[in-house]
Amino acid sequence: MKKSFFKNLIAFTICAVLFAGFSSCSKKSSNDPTPSNGRNAKFTVTVTGAPASAYLSFVMVGLTNDPKDATVWKVNGVVQNNESSVSLSKNNFSGNTKTYIIESVKPLTAVSVGIQCLNVEDSPYKVSYKAEINGEVKNDEKDFTVTKTADFTHDYTY
């Protein structure tokens, strides 16, 4: 199952980068709702009660108008130097920190998010995900219960 997920994660990341590359090469039309200076993104992710066997993956990818500009995120207030993506896994949620706030530090022309939360045990856990683009809430999933039969798997493009 993990091997399949990593294949999907790699394919998702490649698609996001290609999409951003192709979309940045074209001219913006006058009716394009995306501001020419990009969009600001903020994601809040909380995981509570995940058992040791839980599989958690949150990946945020962002690109600016300048492909050389790789420093685009901060996590819980700390700038992630030279990183155009943020990846959080089970290890990030196993300590005291259960909530992460991921914010763009520059306007982004392309933003993609991939989430996969799986459970193989009878011990359910909760996942919350909130996405804000230019201050507007786009997704707000509160306390989704992940069980053996209900996973939390999503791919978003903003």
**Beta-bridge partners for 75:** 78, 102
Evaluate whether residue 119 is within a structural domain: yes
Evaluate whether residue 124 is within a structural domain: yes
Evaluate whether residue 79 is within a structural domain: yes
Q: E-strand spans in the chain?
A: 41-48, 55-63, 73-75, 78-79, 85-89, 99-104, 110-118, 125-133, 136-146, 152-157
* Number of compact structural domains in the chain: 1
Evaluate whether residue 74 is within a structural domain: yes
Evaluate whether residue 33 is within a structural domain: no
- The reported pTM is 0.77
What residues make up the domain containing 139?
Answer: 2-23+39-157
| Residues composing the chain | 158
pLDDT in tens, the chain (158 residues): 555 554 455 544 554 544 445 455 444 444 444 455 799 999 999 999 999 999 999 999 999 998 788 999 999 999 999 999 999 999 999 888 899 999 999 999 999 999 999 999 889 999 999 999 999 999 999 999 999 999 999 999 99
